[in-house]
């Protein structure tokens, strides 16, 4: 179930769905997704589907992880830092950490963050900074980020996140309530102008406010 062949089949499927960034495909081929799931579900880890991780949350579908990651890499200038809203299982975090120098990730549910921390440690990924907070406000103490990715959907575009985009930085985020659209926003140079592109309809868990212990 966790064999290289099973993983390779998932990668072929992602390619068939239009994912073309070879770096992203390589990292997804070598990152074990099963360790991000409870044992009872780990046999489904290499299916191209979202899976529950407890607390009413889900580990995103591999296609979505790949698509969001390649969109960011293709849209921003040079990316040395990325902010992720919604660490969840830590799987998307692990993918980013192998492609980008510094990864900052915010999660509002403490037990999910604790588990994610263990898994990232187990994989030897030391360039990840985790924070237990409401990510709707980004990570305001940090400087700006070259890229921001949200794996939870706000109803409307959060202005706080736009402020934390570095010049030529890119944000990928699902926006909407029942009907959500994966949206790319790119800051034009160091101006306060942003270019927005709607990519495709998606289904994410909602971005909620506040934190839980």
Q: Kindly write out the interface string for residues 140-179 of this chain, putting x where it contacts ligand SAH by CB under 6 A and - elsewhere.
A: -----------xx---------------------------
The DSSP bridge partners found for residue 82 are 103, 147
The span from the CA of 60 to the CA of 66, in Å, is 10
Distance (Å, whole) CA 15 – CA 27: 14
Near ligand SAH in 13-32, by CB under 6 A = none
Furthest-apart CA atoms within the chain: distance in Å:
49
Q: Which stretch binds ligand SAH (CB under 6 A): 13-21, 73-81, 168-176, 201-209?
A: 201-209
Residues 101-120 that bind ligand SAH (CB under 6 A): 106-109, 112
177-181: long-range contacts, CB 8 A cutoff, minimum separation 24:
177/206, 180/153, 180/204
Q: Which of residues 76-95 bind ligand SAH (CB under 6 A)?
A: 85-86, 88-89, 91-92
CB 174 within 8 A of CB 197: no
Nearer to ligand SAH, 35 or 207 (CB): 207
Look up 60 and say whether it is catalytic.
Answer: yes
In this structure, the number of other CB atoms found within 10 A of the CB of residue 103 comes to 27
Q: Which residues does the annotation mark as catalytic?
A: 60
Residues that bind ligand SAH (CB under 6 A): 53, 57-60, 85-86, 88-89, 91-92, 106-109, 112, 134-136, 151-152, 205, 207-209
């Amino acid at each position: 179930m966790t064999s290289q062949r099973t993983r390779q089949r998932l990668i072929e499927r992602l390619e068939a769905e239009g994912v073309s960034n070879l770096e992203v495909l390589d990292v997804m081929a070598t990152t074990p997704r099963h360790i991000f799931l409870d044992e009872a579900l780990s046999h489904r880890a290499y299916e191209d589907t979202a899976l529950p991780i407890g607390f009413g949350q889900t580990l995103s579908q591999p296609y979505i992880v790949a698509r969001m990651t390649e969109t960011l890499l293709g849209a921003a200038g040079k990316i040395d830092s990325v902010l992720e809203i919604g660490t969840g299982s830590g799987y998307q975090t692990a993918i980013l950490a192998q492609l980008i120098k510094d990864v900052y990730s915010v999660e509002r549910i403490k037990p999910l963050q604790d588990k994610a921390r263990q898994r990232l440690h187990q994989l030897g990924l030391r360039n990840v900074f985790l924070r237990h907070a409401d990510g709707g406000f980004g990570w305001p103490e940090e400087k700006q980020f070259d890229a921001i990715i949200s794996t939870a959907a706000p109803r409307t575009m959060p202005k706080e996140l736009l402020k934390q985009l570095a010049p030529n930085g890119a944000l990928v985020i699902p926006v909407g309530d029942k009907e959500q659209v994966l949206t790319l926003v790119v800051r034009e140079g160091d101006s306060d102008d942003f270019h927005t592109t709607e990519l495709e309809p998606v289904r994410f868990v909602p971005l909620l406010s506040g934190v839980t212990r």
